[in-house]
Structure 1
């Protein structure tokens, strides 16, 4: 199962030399460029990916309209192809893709002219709305930089399905299309995580934890904030050599805010805060902007639709073209270091969180179980977490 347990690059470590300051400025510009490219894809505008041996023009199949397809055609040096994540390609073709794996990054399918229309492309990209046309696409070699295109779509929380073609820098300039280095796209998860800084802090008494503070963190690209909820005095515990309770909790709009019964996120969130309030060492709840194991709220709702049709949580994510878990635990590690907590007792049922934080330099002294009884609706969901994600849950 794929996990993002990345370590920070050396050129982002704190330093006071002019050369390193220039390096950090370059990193900020790279992050902002990728952030702008995500926004263009989301609004249906093609983007140029630059590599050492050429360029690739890409547009998101989910959002591109007639004007975007016209711009892409104007920049293309060859007939466009449909680029998909391998698991999505297998779903479109209704058969396994030979010699393709999630690690391969991208699979390309030939696009007959009849499919070069916004409605047809959306149907190929989204299995929830899928009505496949009679002529099944034929697999062709994936263009260079296709993997970076898939990565960019995922960063933008779009379905990982692109229309793509070789292009030139001159075409990008003529059509006023944004160009971004493919290497910056692939480096973005690490660069964004390690650039997180504290931007605000306030005391916020909570119902189950009157002594609580919230610290907000923002990456250098100005993207969405992650939050750390500090209960009690975990920094003092850490400064004295102790290990506060810590939970890395991915935001869940439906469970945390609405009280959805499809998952156990709401009880886990409130239960963790109450438990930290009772612990003399205090605790830190990292509230991470990684909805739906990193696929985003819209795609999580699509996955719910697929689950209602019979797929489990893992297979629904894969049918959309996403991996089983797209989260980046380096975000959590960076936040913990920023508040002075390097040793933790982790409140989790997920061994991958232990491995992820450990790989990012956080010392996990032990695991504290954090399970809640099924509610009659989420029973199958909890069984899937145990059986297919390896969560350490009591047998039902």
Structure 2
């Protein structure tokens, strides 16, 4: 994914307050250059008014796009090479995936008590194609609906680099074939020599801290790893609410594997 902003456009967006830089603790960074190359710095673009329609329901939300400064620095170099060569023969250099995450703000959660928060790992097959091999698409639609209906509103952090619990779409396709041969979703990752779950929630925590601070909030999740990772990153006032959705005969085995891996899913949750 080639992500680039002309410098003059970037300056206009910064001046308008539509492009800010935040640190790992959610605070704004005024200076353009960080003295610590290892520091987490996220560029945040928005708000962008976005009318949504999911599962037959319409919503009005504000969307923000977020990307690490280290990723943008790589793109700046590619853009310079693109201009120098006149744009020829660079497709392969521009094709590598870049994780551009999103924040979807529903209502005014920054002004209200105990907002709802969903950190959602992207899933092309579930979120876009509507696959029932997982519950991801149903979870996303349910989270938007629950937050929109809640008086406190809330926020969805959509993690673009999390396909297949962090292994990417190509490897995920291979795991589906392994699952069809009898392995469960975690075993299939490990059969490829990859972690069962390699997702990093550091950026998600930084975005939540930026929008909401470290204050009471309700996290929509069944995943204890997500809870532990976000807590370790500075979000210490979370309570959790179960978030089971889209259960069908097609994903019951998948959900049972999650249950055995420690997800807070009961037998009654996945009864079909």
Change (3 A) 1:354 1:199: same
Q: Which residue of 2 aligns with 1:215?
A: 64
Residue correspondence of structure 1 range 1-396 to structure 2 within 5 A: 21=33, 23-24=35-36, 27=37, 191=39, 194-207=40-53, 208=57, 210-220=59-69, 221-222=71-72, 223-237=98-112, 242-289=113-160, 290-343=162-215, 344-372=217-245, 374-388=247-261, 390-395=262-267, 396=271
TM-superposed deviation, 1:309:
1.1
Structure 1 gap ranges (5+): 1-7, 28-186
Deviation, structure 1 residue 209: 5.1
1:214-240 Cα deviation digits (max 9, x unpaired): 111111122431001111111222xxx
Secondary structure of the residue aligned to 1:211 is: strand
Contact 1:248–1:287 (8 Å) recurs in 2: yes
Q: CA-atom RMSD, angstroms?
A: 2.4
Measure the CA separation in 1 of the matches of 2:30 and 2:120: 34
Please give the alpha-carbon distance, in whole angstroms, between the structure 1 residues aligned to 2:24 and 2:218.
26
What secondary structure does 1:196 align onto? strand
Q: 1:22 to 1:216 in 2, by over 3 A?
A: closer
Contact preservation (8 Å) 2:24, 2:203: no
Whole-angstrom distance in 2 between the partners of 1:234 and 1:386? 31
Give TM-score scaled by structure 2 length.
0.73
> Could you tell me how far 1:321 is from its partner in structure 2?
1.4
The one-character-per-residue Cα deviations of 1:335-357 (angstroms, maximum 9, x if unpaired) are: 11222342321001112211111
Q: 1:331 to 1:253 in 2, by over 3 A?
A: same
Give the whole-Å Cα distance in 1 for the aligned partners of 2:195 and 2:51: 37
The count of corresponding residues between Structure 1 and Structure 2 is 215
